Amino acid sequence: MLTRALAIAEYRNGQVVPDRLTRVEHRQYLRLAQSMLHVYQHGIGRMRQQLRSSVHSLFENELDCPTRRIDAFCKLLDERSVYDKDKRGRAAKLRKRVFRIAAAKHPLVSLPDRLFESGELEVKKEVAREIGKSWIEIEQELFADVIQFHRLREFSGYDSADALLARYNVAQTQAVLYDAVSMTVWAKEDFKLIIRYAKLARLMHTIGRKSDGTYQMTFDGPASVLKQSRRYGVAFAKFLPGLLSCSGWRMKAIIQHRRSSWQNQFQLSPADGLTSNVDPAELFDSGLEESFAKKWGEQPRNGWRLFREGVVLYQNQIVFVPDFLFVHEDGRKAVMEIVGFWTPEYLAEKQKTLATFSGNDIVLAVSDSVDWPHNELSNLTFRYKTAIKVADVMAMLFQIS
């Protein structure tokens, strides 16, 4: 993921155009991408700042390449890198010891004379003897707690130069969504998969079904009236690679201009050619649901078997996709919806949806942090703090006749 500072986009006639590299206009970037990968592949043991400096030097003759684009490439390369870090404060302790020894010799000079007798080289040798390491080793460890001086340990990299450029294009598109007020996705194919990605990303959304069978999913954006949240903005952007892996959809987002009150449109579909080969499991933080599903297990409990998002409920043009479906061996069914910390507006819409489908047995797991009308929408409601307990769910299912 790129930071907002590394985002590059143009605003043209009410449309947002994120920075995108194409084979026609940017043919030279394939060679540059190969060179960048080479820098990192052969950079084990080098410091982060050295690697980034080497990448920047590759673009010295590229007149139309903004610095932010190069820094964005470095960020994406760092995402596939593992750096050695000083987790135990050893570097700070070493600095104190080195400076304490050297302080008695202050001031240090390159060439000692009668006035300044402490030569830098001799003092370094003395420090090394007292600490029991060579000065080269000391120098490598002295600032190991500073991010620029972290040393590269592993680089998983990208499959090819093309893959790095494709990741760059997706990353710049994700960065545009940090400033989204709202986003609407229309889909006929892969509808349930798209909704699954949205739920795993914990995005606030409503779903409707049009007369032609198209599903319309509307998402509240991080730049909505609900105030911006960095965490939600990241989750919102993380949804994009999952969407790109699906087919038969189109998307339109309303983007808030960063330096004005203007709002602009951003439109995207598979025809734009962005691709994502990332495993969906790597894209989303499904912690709460994933934890509960693992605790429940694959085997039935008291005859109840759990399915993740195994049903889609319809009522006129309103669609409801619960988080879980429970099916009893005797044919009884129940669904469960998790209500986390959302905005008052979104919770109000959620309550309307649940009221519409009140004829179904709906188990509601409501976070303690949410102001929720207790038991008004379902008598199968219980509260949770940080995790959903199997025993609480079983207590609700026991009430279903």
Q: Where are the domains of the chain?
A: 4-82+158-282, 90-144, 287-397
Mean residue pLDDT of the chain comes to 88
Q: Is the pLDDT of residue 114 over 80?
A: no
Distance CA 296, CA 319 (A): 27
- Provide DSSP, 160-225: SHHHHHHHHHHHHHHHHGGGEEEEEEEESSSHHHHHHHHHHTT--EEEEE-TTS-EEEEEE-TTST
Chain segment 19-29, per-residue pLDDT in tens: 999 989 999 99
Q: Is the pLDDT of residue 282 over 60?
A: no
Q: Which contiguous run of DSSP H or E holds residue 54? A: helix 48-58
Q: Which SS3 state, helix, strand or coil, does residue 65 take?
A: coil
Compute the Cα dihedral for 364, 368, 373, 376 and give only its sign. Answer: positive
Q: What is the pLDDT of residue 343?
A: 73
Q: Within 10 Å of residue 302's Cβ, how many Cβ atoms?
A: 9
Q: What is the pLDDT of residue 290?
A: 83
Q: What is the pLDDT of residue 374?
A: 62
In the structure, what pLDDT confidence band is assigned to residue 79 with cuts at 50, 70 and 90?
A: very high
Q: What is the pLDDT of residue 341?
A: 63
First-last CA distance in the chain: 48
Distance CA 288, CA 340 (A): 10
Distance CA 83, CA 50 (A): 13
Q: Which residue carries 């038969």 as its tokens?
A: 248
Token pair listed for 33 = 């991408």
Q: What long-range pairs does 192-197 form, CB within 8 A, spacing at least 24? A: 192/309, 192/312, 192/321, 193/242, 193/246, 194/242, 194/243, 194/246, 194/249, 195/309, 195/321, 196/308, 196/309, 197/239, 197/242, 197/243, 197/246, 197/280, 197/283, 197/284
CATH number for domain 287-397, candidates 2.40.50, 3.90.350, 3.30.70, 3.40.1350: 3.40.1350
Average pLDDT over residues 352-363: 89
C-alpha distances (whole Å) from 191 to each of 2, 7, 304 are 28, 29, 27
Length reported for the chain: 401
Average pLDDT over residues 329-344: 86
Token pair listed for 222 = 């991080």
Chain segment 227-278, per-residue pLDDT in tens: 556 778 888 888 999 899 999 999 999 998 777 778 899 999 999 999 886 5
Distance CA 79, CA 31 (A): 21
Percent of the chain residues past pLDDT 90, beyond the cut: 49
User: How many degrees, rounded to 5, is the angle at CA 120 between CA 115 and CA 123?
Assistant: 100
Scored b (16 or more CB within 10 A) or e, 192-213 reads ebbbbbbbbbbbbbbbebeeee
Average pLDDT over residues 211-219: 89
